[in-house]
Amino acid sequence: MVVLASLGASPGFMPELPEVEVTRRQIERVLVGRTVADVRTTAPSYFFLTPPRELRARLLGRRVTRLERHGKYLIGHLDDGSRLLLHLGMTGQLVAAPAEPTRPAPARRAGPRSERRAVAFVGDQHTHLVLSFREPGPRLCFRDVRKFGKVAWIPKGAVSERLDKLGPDALRVTGKELFDATRSRSVPIKTVLLDQSVLAGVGNIYADEALFVAKIRSTRPANALSQRESDALVAALRKVLRRSIATGGSTISDFVRPDGSDGGYQDHHLVYGRAGEPCPRCGTPIRRVVLGGRSTHYCPHCQK
């Protein structure tokens, strides 16, 4: 696994839209159509926006009907109309674990790597939420070493402040919406891409990658973008996000897919983490600057 520090990423780095979507697709199979038979949690902490005791009572006996993603949030829809909100934070991992408690197998009996890793998650002090189900199959474990992840239960019909303040999902935002949102903003365009109230789900890596594909300099004032450039940027965002989802997300920090394997997209980064290496388009060395406290990579020749 790639270590956070070796990428030169700033503190505050977290899984972005592709990693959350990869997680959604994998745990959808574990959650949807199943009924919660047991809920285990660690002690109350800032990880639980809904206190553990209430969370246990609310989830018990509920069937998950759908698992949705908005930006970096996962939203489990429950059969009584309430919702379970999950956010991976910086180091959160949602993992499908064997149904019964399992001791780590002796090395000679160990299965494929993903199997061994799933076993290692069970019963860990950092596993803050474990859902077991009536139907046969794996449990769902939410493990988070740094506890910047979040779990909340939202009553039927209730508004979630966290979801309400998000802009459109980055895979669904239109060029016109981006253009309109930037008219009164003279901050760098990259800063706007990272603003979750404008569009939800983009973080440092994919902002750099999309700006490179769209040939737009990260530091350009947002209101200097034309409608055509806004369209190109939204198209570039979709392209890099979809490609990353298809390859399993980037492996950075502690992101591991729910089946225990590493994501593969970091091998395809065009500029992110490639300072000094030749631009894949023109060969000019990729430059790295710090913008708003975030490591920013661009080609000084291609990106205007």
Residues near Zn ion (CB under 5 A): 279, 281-282, 284, 299, 301-302
Q: Which of 58, 69, 72, 139 is catalytic?
A: 72
Rank residues 232 and 302 by Cβ distance to Zn ion and give the closer one.
Answer: 302
Q: Which of 34, 58, 83, 294 is catalytic?
A: 294
Least gap, CB of 230 to Zn ion (angstroms) = 21
Least gap, CB of 271 to Zn ion (angstroms) = 9
Rank residues 225 and 302 by Cβ distance to Zn ion and give the closer one.
Answer: 302
Q: Does 16 participate in catalysis according to the annotation?
A: yes
DSSP label at residue 91 = T
Amino acid residing at 174: T
Question: How many other β-carbons are positioned within 10 Å of the β-carbon of residue 12?
Answer: 11
- In the beta sheet, which residues pair with residue 289? 296
Question: How many other β-carbons are positioned within 10 Å of the β-carbon of residue 160?
Answer: 16
Rank residues 68 and 277 by Cβ distance to Zn ion and give the closer one.
Answer: 277
Least gap, CB of 301 to Zn ion (angstroms) = 4
Per-residue CA distances from 252 to 15, 108, 292 (Å): 8, 30, 21
Least gap, CB of 284 to Zn ion (angstroms) = 5
- In the beta sheet, which residues pair with residue 150? 87
Rank residues 25 and 287 by Cβ distance to Zn ion and give the closer one.
Answer: 287
Least gap, CB of 200 to Zn ion (angstroms) = 29
Q: Which of 15, 18, 52, 258 is catalytic?
A: 15
Least gap, CB of 74 to Zn ion (angstroms) = 36
Q: Does 72 participate in catalysis according to the annotation?
A: yes
Q: Which of 16, 19, 28, 209 is catalytic?
A: 16
Q: Does 15 participate in catalysis according to the annotation?
A: yes
- How deeply is 184 buried, as exposed, middle or buried, from its count of CB atoms within 10 A (0-12, 13-18, 19+)? exposed
Rank residues 56 and 301 by Cβ distance to Zn ion and give the closer one.
Answer: 301
Question: How many other β-carbons are positioned within 10 Å of the β-carbon of residue 231?
Answer: 17
Q: Say how far apart CA 91 and CA 99 lie, in whole Å.
A: 24
Alpha helices in the chain (DSSP H): 17-31, 52-59, 113-121, 161-164, 175-182, 189-194, 204-213, 227-246
- How deeply is 123 buried, as exposed, middle or buried, from its count of CB atoms within 10 A (0-12, 13-18, 19+)? middle
Q: Does 304 participate in catalysis according to the annotation?
A: no
Q: Say how far apart CA 183 and CA 176 lie, in whole Å.
A: 11
Amino acid residing at 281: R
Q: Say how far apart CA 84 and CA 304 lie, in whole Å.
A: 43
Q: Say how far apart CA 187 and CA 165 lie, in whole Å.
A: 20
Rank residues 24 and 217 by Cβ distance to Zn ion and give the closer one.
Answer: 217
Active site residues: 15-16, 72, 294
